Structure 1
Amino acid sequence: MNIKVIGSGCDKCDKVYALVQEVVEELALEAEIEKVEDLIEIVKLGVMSAPSIMIDGKVVISGQVPTKEKIKKILERVML
């Protein structure tokens, strides 16, 4: 599983990245977590709002700081 946390490096983006790391560890997932902060790369991914989370090429959260529970539910759904 490839998870990208997309944003300009602001505090909200850093918080989302930390939450994703925590949830991945708690669920014992095998996942590559990337932080995408380069504006050109963000545009190439087609993301217009930050922070965003992309899992295996699909944006699952855009323009918000989700709760840890919301991230967990999304990742559990993706694992099925």
Structure 2
Amino acid sequence: MTNVVKEVVLENNINANVEKVEDIMKIMEFNVMSTPALVIDNVVTIKGRIPSKEEVLTLLS
């Protein structure tokens, strides 16, 4: 998922900080039990699947 998000950010000149979190304790802070997950502005927007570029763009717009 990280690659998809990074591609969308670069291709659309979006000012965003993309971070891949692998620390289980940080992941659990968001009550995410199935990965991957996408968190935008501290809100879990997607979990348990890899979104399309179009979906990521919509979420970031």
Instruction: Provide TM-score, normalisation by structure 2.
Output: 0.89
Percent sequence identity over matched residues?
Answer: 41
Aligned length: 61
How many angstroms does 1:26 deviate by? 1.4
Richer in helix (by share):
1
User: In structure 2, what residue type is equivalent to 1:48?
Assistant: M
> How far apart, in 1, do the equivalents of 2:15 and 2:22 lie?
23
Equivalence for 2:45: 60
List structure 1 runs of 4+ shifted beyond 4 angstroms: none
> How far apart, in 1, do the equivalents of 2:29 and 2:60 lie?
24
Equivalence for 2:35: 50
RMSD: 1.0
Richer in strand (by share):
1
Equivalence for 1:32: 17
> How far apart, in 1, do the equivalents of 2:29 and 2:51 lie?
23
Instruction: Provide TM-score, normalisation by structure 1.
Output: 0.70
Return 5+ residue gaps in structure 1 as ranges.
1-15
Matches within 5 A, 1:3-22: 16-22=1-7
Return 5+ residue gaps in structure 2 as ranges.
none
